[in-house]
């Protein structure tokens, strides 16, 4: 079992829709969780982090964490073509990030 | 603006010819990381410095070495690059292992 799992996609949504990206992790002791956006050929960019159960909102982005289910998600509201990228879920274990394989999101105009 | 800088952005080397990649930061973060990322794969941690303490990942080949002469700079040395070492090399920084911020990366090509 992989430590951090994501659906590789591609996930295709129409412009203006909500994109939902999901991630599960295996280490119950994990305390902090991150979402990075990575455009093709570029480096990862931190867009959200969450430490507590529940929802955390920042603009069009909402991160959701459920530690009991070992599940973290990212919702992107009003998706734009510029949101088309690979989204990496990362879990902090002992100060090191364990990355999922990433979900490729495509937002169609 | 505070940032993580990597040089060069693109590096071409020959098989077996040593290469050094550099990373500098103005964030004054105490932890610096080097990752290798190949196409369509997640970043793979090679090693990191927590302050001056060097931490090598168990599966990082001996061909990869690192130096951190001061808080702001960190170098990745590849002693004898092979074709399989062609990748994007990412430097990242954090405060004591919290959120990590990545530099723009160096794309390494091995001929």
Q: Do B42 and A101 touch (CB under 8 A)?
A: yes
Chain A CB within 8 Å of residue B59 CB: no
Q: Is B39 on the interface with A (CB under 8 A)?
A: no
A40 interface with B at CB cutoff 8 Å: no
- Is A44's Cβ below 8 Å from some Cβ in B? yes
pLDDT at position B53, please? 96
Cβ of A92 within 8 Å of Cβ of B97? The answer is yes
Mean pLDDT of chain B: 95
Closest Cα in chain B, distance from residue A98 (Å)? 9
φ, ψ at B83 (rounded to 5°):
-60, -30
The DSSP line for A44-108 is: -EEEEEE-SSEEEEETTEEEEEETTTTEEEEEESS--GGG-EEEEEEEEETTEEEE---EEEEEE
- Any long-range contacts for B47-51 (C-beta under 8 Å, 24+ apart)? B48/A96, B49/B74, B50/A95, B50/B96, B50/B97
The answer to whether A55 and A33 have CB atoms below 8 angstroms apart is: no
pLDDT on residue B58: 93
The pLDDT of residue A7: 85
Confidence of residue B2 (pLDDT cuts 50, 70, 90): low
pLDDT at A8: 80
* Chain A closest-CA separation from residue B57 CA (Å): 10
Which one of A23, A43, A44, A92 would you mutate to disrupt binding with B, by most B Cβ within 10 Å of its Cβ?
A: A43
Q: Do B105 and A42 touch (CB under 8 A)?
A: yes
Which residues from chain A sit within 8 angstroms of residue B97, using beta carbons? 92, 94-96
Give pLDDT tens digits along chain A (109 positions): 669 999 888 999 999 999 999 999 999 989 899 999 999 999 999 999 999 999 999 999 999 999 999 999 999 999 999 999 999 999 998 888 999 999 999 999 9
Q: What is the dihedral of CA B60, B65, B95, B2, to 10 degrees?
A: -130
pLDDT of B42-70, one tens digit each? 999 999 999 999 999 999 999 999 999 99
Q: Which pLDDT score, from 0 to 100, does residue B75 have?
A: 98
pLDDT, position B30: 95
């Amino acid at each position: 079992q992989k430590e951090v799992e994501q659906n590789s996609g591609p996930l295709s949504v129409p412009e203006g829709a909500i994109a939902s990206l999901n991630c599960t992790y295996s280490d119950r002791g994990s305390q902090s969780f991150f979402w990075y956006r990575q455009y093709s050929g570029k480096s990862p960019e931190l867009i959200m982090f969450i430490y507590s159960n529940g929802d955390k909102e920042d603009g069009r982005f909402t991160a959701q964490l459920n530690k009991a289910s070992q599940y973290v998600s990212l919702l992107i509201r009003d998706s734009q073509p510029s949101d088309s990228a690979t989204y990496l879920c990362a879990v902090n274990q002992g100060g090191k990030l364990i990355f999922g394989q990433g979900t490729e999101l495509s937002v169609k105009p | 603006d505070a940032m993580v800088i990597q040089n060069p952005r693109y590096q071409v080397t020959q098989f077996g010819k040593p290469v050094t990649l550099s990373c500098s930061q103005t964030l004054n973060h105490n932890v610096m990381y080097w990752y290798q990322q190949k196409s369509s794969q997640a970043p793979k941690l090679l090693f990191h410095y927590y302050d001056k303490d060097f931490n090598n990942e168990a599966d990082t080949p001996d061909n990869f070495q690192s130096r951190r002469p001061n808080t702001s700079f960190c170098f990745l040395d590849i002693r004898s690059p092979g074709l399989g070492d062609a990748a994007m090399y990412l430097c990242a920084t954090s405060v004591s292992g919290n959120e990590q911020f990545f530099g723009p990366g160096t794309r390494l090509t091995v001929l």
